[in-house]
Amino acid sequence: MPIVGYPGWLPAIDANTRKHVCFAMSDRRRHIPCRISINTLRDCFGEENSDPLDLFESCQGEIEDAASRKFLGNNISNGLIELEEGDFD
């Protein structure tokens, strides 16, 4: 079963790394943490100085689709879905 966006957790810059946008998805029973690097966002969807949260919001559907594909492919590491450039080919 595909996962869907989890509206209870707004996308945010990762406070620890400052290099990722964190967001969550849901399998309708639990939330699944996800993240995408700011570099990946800019390389795939914007430009070098693009605001990462604006990029995320403008491409949220495509990003969530990629996270769902990784979930269905069982590509979760330590309970986290991490999106990379190759997830958007």
Residue 89's pLDDT is what? 79
User: Does residue 44 belong to any structural domain of this protein?
Assistant: yes
User: Does residue 45 belong to any structural domain of this protein?
Assistant: yes
Residue 78's pLDDT is what? 85
pTM assigned to the model: 0.91
Total domains in the chain come to 1
User: Does residue 56 belong to any structural domain of this protein?
Assistant: yes
State the DSSP string of 34-80.
Answer: EEEEHHHHHHHHS-TT--HHHHHHHTHHHHHHHHHHHHHTT--BTTB
User: Does residue 63 belong to any structural domain of this protein?
Assistant: yes
Residue 58's pLDDT is what? 96
Residue 11: domain span: 4-79
User: Does residue 87 belong to any structural domain of this protein?
Assistant: no
Tell me the mean pLDDT per 10 residues along the chain, length 89. 87 96 93 96 92 96 96 87 94
User: Does residue 13 belong to any structural domain of this protein?
Assistant: yes
